[in-house]
Amino acid sequence: MFKRGACLLLSGPSGAGKSTLIGELLREFDDIYFSISTTTRKRREGEVEGRDYYFVSPQEFREGIEKGLFLEWAEVHGNYYGTSLQPVLQALEEGKLVLFDIDVQGFLSVKKSPIASVTTSVFITPPSLEELKRRLEERGSDDPATIERRLENARREIEYMGEYDYILVNDDLERSRREIVAFGTVARLKRDREEVEAFIERWIHTH
């Protein structure tokens, strides 16, 4: 039978509600590996090393790029962000569901990577730009300039929404929770060509 894992990739603007839905996935699936990004930005109050991010120096990050240690990476607002490759491959070998929370640039890199064939992608968005602005303002954690920058990023990212396998419009939390669990289940069922061909071979020749 199939044993290898699969990937569920989530993207969407800040304020779309990804963190809440990720929490739902972590509660629902016991064989899940949440891929934690590595970053060079300063740790914010309340953030924990190894839970929120792996925090490294710019020099350490650049050395990782040179050694090919990242599945994907990007420079955003003067800071590096990236996904370490080896833990992802290890989790896949262990048959786990690997969960990514990365931006559009990272998604486009994953689409060209060796794990693309076992990756299911979901773009999470509020119903409108106006609703996104309201949520960011109500959150109260960003100043007006930061909110405007986030909105501008959202305007750019929404253009790539059609590249994703699925779109989740997060306007009803209970429905969104059900949908994200369904996407996780679908992702677990996705198999790459190599696995399918091996299964066919066994199916035909096993007596």
Q: For the CA atoms of 140, 145, 150, 155, what is the dihedral angle to 10 degrees?
A: 130
Separation CA 158–CA 70 (nearest Å): 25
pLDDT of 200 reads 86
Ranked by mean pLDDT, the top range of 47-51, 136-140, 180-184, 194-198 is 180-184
- Give the per-residue pLDDT at 42: 87
> How many angstroms from the chain centroid is the CA of residue 93?
19
User: Is it the case that residue 3 has pLDDT exceeding 70?
Assistant: no
The long-range contacts involving 49-56, CB below 8 angstroms and separated by at least 24 positions, are 54/84
106-112 long-range Cβ contacts below 8 angstroms, 24+ apart: 106/11, 106/72, 106/73, 106/74, 106/81, 107/9, 107/11, 107/160, 107/163, 107/164, 108/160, 108/163, 109/71, 109/72, 109/73, 109/74, 110/7, 110/9, 110/71, 110/72, 111/163
pLDDT score of 1 = 45
Q: Inform me whether the pLDDT recorded for 78 exceeds 80.
A: yes
pLDDT given for residue 202 in this prediction: 86
Least confident of 2-11, 63-72, 88-97, 120-129: 2-11
pLDDT at residue 60 tops 60: yes
Q: Domain residues of the chain, as ranges?
A: 6-35+95-205
| In the predicted structure, residue 2 carries a pLDDT above the cut 70 | no
* pLDDT, mean of residues 132-139: 91
H helices present in 82-207, as ranges: 85-93, 104-111, 129-139, 144-157, 173-188, 193-205
Say what the pLDDT of residue 94 is: 93
Is residue 16 within 8 A of residue 125, CB to CB? The reply is yes
Choosing among 3.40.50.1820, 3.40.50.300, 3.40.50.970, 3.90.78.10, the CATH entry for 6-35+95-205 is: 3.40.50.300
State the Rg of the chain over Cα.
18
Q: How many whole angstroms separate alpha carbon 57 and alpha carbon 39? A: 8
Nearest-angstrom CA–CA distance, 206 and 4 = 20
Decide if pLDDT at 33 tops 90: yes
Task: Please state, in angstroms and rounded to a whole number, the distance separating the CA atoms of residues 31 and 35.
Answer: 13
pLDDT digits (tens, 9 = 90+) for 139-158: 877 889 989 999 999 999 99
pLDDT > 70: percent of the chain: 98
- pLDDT computed for residue 17 by the predictor: 92
The per-residue pLDDT of the chain, averaged, comes to: 90
Name the least confident of 15-19, 33-37, 196-200: 196-200
Q: Which residue has the tokens 């240690």?
A: 69
Alpha carbon distance 8, 184 (integer Å): 7
Q: Which amino acid is at 46?
A: G
| pLDDT at residue 174, rounded to an integer | 96
pLDDT band for 207, please (50, 70, 90 cuts): low
Q: What is the average pLDDT across 123-146?
A: 91
